[in-house]
Amino acid sequence: MVTIKAEPFDLNFNPKTTALVIIDMQRDFVLPGGFGEKLGNDTSLLLAAVKPTQRVLAQARKQGMFIIHTREGHRPDLSDCPPAKLTRGGKTFIGKDSPMGRILVRGEKGHDIIHQLYPMKGEPIIDKPGKGSFHATDLHQILLDHGIKTLIVCGVTLEVCVHTTVREANDRGYECVVLSDCVASYFPEFQRVGLEMIKAQGAIFGWVSNADNFLAAIG
Ligand code: TIU
């Protein structure tokens, strides 16, 4: 067992039963021209999470930790995209052309993970149609098969796909540690409050730590 310095209190975990989960570090969210920008956001705010996550990913690989990547997106025929998600307020972006291919469509350049954090062979990629990583995916089964009990969570955006995934994971019995500098939001206020929400009420659905603390814990 190792101990990670975290809020609201430190957490013990076994690196062998812990997975690093990197959520939706896709061009469509992080780079201009994709889904995030089409929704009216400044995508540059998300880039702050890239370098700290690279450090965490490199060390997790060195330690042989189980690593999982997720991508939000849909089949090319959009048959797995609920109409309520496809068109919001009369606007449709998913499936439309962009400089990085069809937005949030599997197989397109924008849908894929940025090169800085690209998965290595043997690191499962979960393609998910929703915000949560457990909804309509085999993530829970994969984690059970690997005896995983603790999740170290990075990715974007904090208050949408990271929150939804951590809430889903907490309900399924996983202890989740969100690394504050390895997650990002288009809204600085949501980043701050989103982290507060996780750790409030005695870690109501998770813990908050950071890249340095993670690196110190797993050495
Ligand atoms: N829009 C936004 O903040 N996020 C998403 O749509 N998906 C994820 O968070 N991955």
What digits encode the pLDDT tens for the residues 8-42?
A: 999 999 999 999 999 999 999 999 999 999 999 99
Residues of the chain with pLDDT > 90, as a percent, come to 100
- Mean pLDDT score across all residues of the chain: 98
The domain that contains 72 carries what CATH number?
A: 3.40.50.850
**Closest atom of ligand 1 relative to the 39 alpha carbon:** 1
- Residues in Cβ contact with 54 at an 8 Å cutoff, skipping those fewer than 6 apart: 116, 117
**Closest residue by CA, ligand 1 atom 6:** 160
Note whether residue 205 is domain-resident: yes
Residues of the chain with pLDDT > 70, as a percent, come to 100
Note whether residue 33 is domain-resident: yes
Q: How confident is the model at residue 102 (pLDDT cuts 50, 70, 90)?
A: very high
CA of 156 to the centre of ligand 1 (A): 7
Q: Which two structure tokens, joined as six digits, stand for 2? A: 């190792």
* Domain coverage including residue 133: 2-212
| Count of domains for the chain | 1
Between the two ends of the chain, the Cα-to-Cα distance in Å is: 12
Note whether residue 50 is domain-resident: yes
Note whether residue 217 is domain-resident: no
What was the pLDDT predicted at 219? 87
Note whether residue 218 is domain-resident: no
Q: Which residues are catalytic?
A: 24, 128, 161
**Closest atom of ligand 1 relative to the 72 alpha carbon:** 10
Note whether residue 108 is domain-resident: yes
**Closest residue by CA, ligand 1 atom 8:** 161
Above 90 in pLDDT, residue 134?
yes
- Quick one: average pLDDT of 55-71? 98
